[in-house]
Amino acid sequence: MLPRWITAAYLAFLAAPIVLLVVGSFGALWLNTLLPTGVTARWYAEVATDPSFRRAFLSSLAVAAATCLTCLVIGLPFAYAIFRAESPRMRALARVLYQLPVALPALVLAFGFILAFSSDALPLLGSIWLLIAGHVVLCMPYFLQTVVADMQRLNLHTLEQAAESLGSSGLERFFHIVTPSLRHSILSGLIVVAALSIGEFQFSNLVAGFLNRTYPIVLLQAFYGATGFACAATVILLLLALTASIAGALSAGSRARFLVPAH
């Protein structure tokens, strides 16, 4: 009985803020009461027409897409190189290096970027490219982890040896065997990257220029204004993140089905 209550209490604790946000986003007036009064869709319309929110929303999408693309283009060969490294020591070292950004607070990275790129030599601070570069650094470990783990699980090395013995060249192997075999983990890795990039605040808040502020940064400012407006804006972010994780779950599900052997 007790575990059930604990579970219920935990779920309530987890869901309450989200439920309140959704309720708040449709509430006409919310001042010092437990629940808002009146029902309206006005706040969503306001968020949708607010130029700074529109710009931030598009900025976020652009940064997330560019981060995904960069992670794919750089990360896939990188993961492959780590996987294929002959010496186990090299593999261990590479793993420590690429996991480092996970341990590194985004704040530290942001200060580093500010120092490095506000100089006259590299005056890049405020450009969207710098923002993307930072997101790539922060998201890459998660992408690599997903893909490298899948390479090991699939026993990719043997698959490649088989292909090689059947007459397949290095490039043919990469496009016929490696990439298709990894399609599920590449997809789920990219979904994690997209979700992280969309929600990233610490780094973006310090490094983004005024014109390419991402959604979470603009969102923070919304909380100084009308509560309903802030709630609606947050719900939109929540929906974005939810879409990403549902897509992730679906891709993981299809992979699980793919793995179950039939007898």
Backbone angles phi, psi at 105, to 5 degrees: -60, 140
DSSP 96: H
Q: Which is nearer to other proteins, 121 or 262 (CB)?
A: 262
User: What's the closest the beta carbon of residue 260 comes to other proteins, in angstroms?
Assistant: 7
Give the shortest CB-187-to-other proteins separation in angstroms.
Answer: 13
32/87 with CB nearer other proteins: 87
CB of 150 to other proteins, least distance (A): 11
Q: Which is nearer to other proteins, 13 or 258 (CB)?
A: 258
**Where would I find the H helices in the chain?**
2-26, 42-49, 51-84, 88-103, 106-117, 128-154, 156-165, 170-173, 179-181, 183-199, 202-207, 215-222, 227-259
Closer to other proteins by Cβ: residue 4 or 257: 257
- Residue placing its CB nearer to other proteins in the complex, 54 or 183: 183
Q: CB of residue 164 vs other proteins: minimum separation in angstroms?
A: 5
Partners of 39 in the β-ladder? 27
User: Taking Cα atoms as reference points, which of 201, 189, 191 lies closest to residue 131?
Assistant: 201
DSSP character string of 49-102 = H-HHHHHHHHHHHHHHHHHHHHHHHHHHHHHHHHHH-SSHHHHHHHHHHHHHHH
Minimum distance of other proteins from residue 169's CB (angstroms): 7
Write out the residues near other proteins by the rule CB under 8 A: 154-155, 158-159, 161-169, 172, 176-177, 180-181, 183, 258-263
